[in-house]
Amino acid sequence: MDEFELIERYFRGAGAPRDDVLLGIGDDGAVLALPGRQVVVVDTLIGGRHFPDDAPAASVGHRALAVNLSDIAAMGAVPTHALLALTLPRAEPAWLDEFAAGLGALARRHGVALVGGDTTCGPLAITLTLLGRLPDGVELRRSGAQIGDAVFVSGTPGDAAYGLRIAGGLTPHGLDPSCAAELRRRFEYPEPRVLLGPALIGLATSCIDVSDGLGGDLAKVAAASGVAIEIDAARLPLSAALRAAVPVEEAQRLALEGGDDYELAFTVPRAVAAQLPQRVAALAPVTEIGRVVAGSGVALRQNGRVRPFTHRGFMHFSAGGGR
Ligand code: ADP
Ligand code: MG
C-alpha cells in the first residue's frame, strides 16, 4: 500500500460531508467557502509521550481530534474543518483502520470535515489542525476574568489522570472493574465540551480548556486576566469512580494536578453563577469551585487553610517534564 492508496482508503471518507468544502482531499490544497471570523488551533500527539505506544489505535485517532475540539470549544467556536499530518513508523492496515474509525466517528458526530493533510514515515506522531466558526463573531479568551467572578469547571477532572495509570498497566487493588474501565475510558476517549463552549459566549468572562491540570490551567487564566483565583478543594467535582479508586485528598490532588481532562474552566459574573448549572444542564454538568479575587496566582482553600497552589501543570522542556 503506497501513500496515495492509504489516503484514499482510510481518510477520504473519514470526516463529515460539508457544503462549504469546495475542494477537499486530492488536490494540492483544500478550498473552503467560509464566512465571518474563524478560530484555528493545532495540537500534536507523540507516541510514547502523549499516549502509551501500545494504546488502542481508535483511542489515538479519537484523542488526536478531541484535544483540538477542546481548544476550539474553549474559544467559544463551533468546529468545522480538520487537516491531519500523520507520521507513521509503518502502514499497518489494522492499526490504520481503527485509527481512522476512531477519528472519523468523532469528526462525523461533530460535523467536522477532513479536508486534507500529510502522510509521512517516521516515529508515530499525529498533528491535527482544526478550524472553528465563531457564531456571534466574538471569542472567549483567557484574559477577561474580573474580580468577584465565580470560577466553574465542567465534568469531573482527575479521572483521566488516573485512567492513564490504568492504561499504563496499573491494576487498582480492590477497585470495581466497572470503575476501572470508566476511568480508563475517560483517558482514552475524552468527550470535549463542544456544545458548552459556544453556549458560554455572552456568559463567561474568560475560558480555558483543562489539558495540563486544572490548577495550573487556572493559573494561566489568572495571569492573563491580572487577577488571582481561589479554589475551594471541597467543591471540586470528583467522580464516584475516582472516589472509589483513591482517598479523597488524592482525588482532589489528581483533579488539580492531573492532566488530559479536556474539560472547560471558566469564570462568570457573580449574578450569572447561581443559575448557570441549570442553564447549561443539557450541554454539560458544571460546578462552581471558587472565585476571582485581587492579586495573582492560584490559591487553594483546604481544611480551613488557604495556601498558594504552586504545581504548574505539565510542561514540555521543564525539569521533570518532557512527557
Ligand atoms: P502533496 O504531494 O501535494 O504533498 P500529498 O500526496 O501529501 O500531496 O496529499 C495528497 C492529498 O491527500 C492532499 O489533498 C492532502 O491534503 C491529502 N492528504 C494527505 N495525507 C492525508 C491525511 N493523513 N489525511 C487526510 N488527507 C491527507
Ligand atoms: Mg502537492
Q: List, for residues 262-315, the tens digit of each pLDDT value.
A: 999 999 999 999 999 999 999 999 999 999 999 999 999 999 999 999 887 666
Residue 221 CA, ligand 1 centroid: distance in Å: 37
DSSP 235: G
pTM, two decimals, is: 0.95
pLDDT in the model for residue 323: 45
- Give the end-to-end CA distance of the chain in Å, rounded to a whole number: 33
Radius of gyration for the chain, computed over Cα atoms and rounded to the nearest angstrom: 20
The closest ligand to the CA of 4 turns out to be: 1
Report how far residue 87's alpha carbon sits from residue 85's, in angstroms, rounded to the nearest whole number: 7
Residue whose CA lies nearest to ligand 1 atom number 11: 26
Average pLDDT over residues 165-184: 92
Residue 118 CA, ligand 2 centroid: distance in Å: 10
Give the confidence band of 260 by pLDDT, cuts at 50, 70, 90.
very high
Average pLDDT over residues 128-140: 94
Q: Is the Cβ–Cβ distance between 216 and 321 less than 8 Å?
A: no
Report how far residue 83's alpha carbon sits from residue 68's, in angstroms, rounded to the nearest whole number: 11
Q: Is the Cβ–Cβ distance between 115 and 32 less than 8 Å?
A: yes
Q: Which amino acid is at 39?
A: V
The closest ligand to the CA of 27 turns out to be: 1
Vertex 184 angle, CA 152 and 174, to 5°: 105
pLDDT in the model for residue 318: 60
Pocket probe for ligand 1: among 1, 6, 119, the residue whose CB has the most ligand atoms within 8 Å is: 119
Q: Ligand 1 pocket by C-beta < 6 Å: which residues?
A: 3, 7, 11, 25-28, 84, 86, 114, 116-119
Strand bridging mode 297-302 / 228-232: parallel
Report how far residue 152's alpha carbon sits from residue 276's, in angstroms, rounded to the nearest whole number: 9
The C-alpha cell that represents 20 in the structure block: 462549504
The closest ligand to the CA of 85 turns out to be: 1
Residue 202 CA, ligand 1 centroid: distance in Å: 38
pLDDT in the model for residue 136: 81
pLDDT in the model for residue 53: 83
Q: Is the Cβ–Cβ distance between 138 and 201 less than 8 Å?
A: yes
Q: Is the Cβ–Cβ distance between 87 and 120 less than 8 Å?
A: yes
Place of cell 480508563: 184
Is the pLDDT score of 321 beyond 60? no
Mean pLDDT of the chain: 95
H or E stretch including 130? Answer: strand 125-133
Average pLDDT over residues 234-238: 98
Q: Is the Cβ–Cβ distance between 192 and 70 less than 8 Å?
A: yes
pLDDT in tens, 3-37: 889 999 999 999 999 999 999 999 999 999 999 99
Vertex 237 angle, CA 300 and 168, to 5°: 95
Strand bridging mode 38-46 / 78-88: unpaired
Spatial strand order in the sheet of 78-88: 38-46, 125-133, 78-88, 113-121
Strand bridging mode 125-133 / 78-88: antiparallel
Strand bridging mode 21-23 / 78-88: unpaired
pLDDT in the model for residue 322: 43
**Burial group, residue 297, by CB count within 10 angstroms (0-12, 13-18, 19+):** middle
pLDDT in tens, 28-78: 999 999 999 999 999 999 999 988 888 999 999 999 999 999 999 999 999
Give the confidence band of 118 by pLDDT, cuts at 50, 70, 90.
very high
pLDDT in the model for residue 316: 64
Residue 26 CA, ligand 2 centroid: distance in Å: 9
Report how far residue 106's alpha carbon sits from residue 113's, in angstroms, rounded to the nearest whole number: 11
Average pLDDT over residues 221-249: 98
- Three-state SS at 8: helix
